[in-house]
Structure 1
Amino acid sequence: MAASSAIIGYNSTFAIGDGGDPTETFTAVAEVTNITPPGYSRDAIDVTHMKSDDQFREYIAGLMDAGEVQIELNYVPSASDVLIAALTGGKGNFQITLPNSITFTFAAICTAYTPAVPNDDKLSASATFKVSGKPTLA
């Protein structure tokens, strides 16, 4: 039996690009506790017609979508919160780096940023990013 090549997510980062041209610099968001990378889906377009074989629906492949990226983090209140800046800004570039140095780099719009301040637990926050276009996996 072959040994597993599985790894844990420890030491992964979620970073925000500065928009630099020609070289963009990515700065990691502090205290991220969970990252959900882009997922991939494809539309199925119904092309069924009046003579489709044996009354079965027929489909062709439509456009692909990279979905949403979500992060969770320990919320550390700051007057210069980078995630509020991402939410109020337009489309930007983001990068997820995994422990084995594989990266997902993608353009996205921050669509939600939600801090939570519970009475008896740590302050936390979550943010959601709608991916625009094709992510680069390298």
Structure 2
Amino acid sequence: MTTNAMLALGAFAFSTDGGTTWEPFIEPKAAPVPAVEIDYKEVTSLDSEGWREYIPGLKDGGEVEVQSNYTRAGYTALAAIDATKVMFKSTFANDDAFTFDGIPITTPDTVDVGEPETMTTRIKVSGAVTFAAGA
């Protein structure tokens, strides 16, 4: 049987106008997708017959990080949206897309002499993560 696996190729972009227009990250090394977690609430009672019981609580998209090659244009574009809630979209090579709102902060990385300059954008996810299958 032939695999349907694909290489990690695609794009990562942000929108400051609710998804009408998208600005690409310049030279990102990944197209991150938030790992959603659920806050489980314990509801064990005397009727639980010796077992702990739980119900699902709120979901949290957590935080994602994107490392990019450092460029002046890339840093300037990302610094302009630091600490501002904007929309992000990770698109895979097959055009599957994951969209989420988040609050970014970008910092240049400390690198060793002779190594490529990079920067890291940390994004606190705010709200739901949506998926749209590619064509």
TM-score range (shorter-chain normalised) is 0.7 to 0.9
Q: Give the match for residue 19 of structure 1.
A: 17
Q: Give the match for residue 116 of structure 1.
A: 109
Aligned counterpart in structure 1 of residue 37 of structure 2, from 41, 51, 63 = 41
TM-score by length of 2: 0.86
Question: RMSD of aligned C-alpha atoms?
Answer: 1.9
Instruction: Number of aligned residue pairs: give it.
Output: 131
Q: Give the match for residue 82 of structure 2.
A: 87
Matched, 1:70 2:69: no
| d(CA) in 2 for partners of 1:80, 1:59 | 44
Contact persistence 2:32–2:90 (CA under 8 A): no
SS at structure 1 position matched to 2:26 = coil
Provide closer, same or farther for how the CA distance between residues 58 and 80 of structure 1 changes in structure 2, counting only shifts above 3 A.
closer
Contact persistence 1:41–1:67 (CA under 8 A): yes
Displacement of 1:46: 0.5
Matched, 1:60 2:55: yes
Displacement of 1:116: 1.9
| d(CA) in 1 for partners of 2:102, 2:117 | 26
Runs of 4+ in 1 over 4 A off after TM superposition: none
| d(CA) in 1 for partners of 2:21, 2:12 | 13
Contact persistence 1:107–1:133 (CA under 8 A): yes
Give ranges in structure 2 of 5+ residues lacking alignment.
Answer: none
SS at structure 1 position matched to 2:78 = helix
TM-score by length of 1: 0.85
| d(CA) in 1 for partners of 2:28, 2:7 | 15
Supply the AA of the counterpart residue of 1:62. G
Q: Deviations over 1:74-107 (max 9, x none)?
A: 001249711111214x211111111100111111
Give ranges in structure 1 of 5+ residues lacking alignment.
Answer: none
- Percent same amino acid at aligned positions? 31
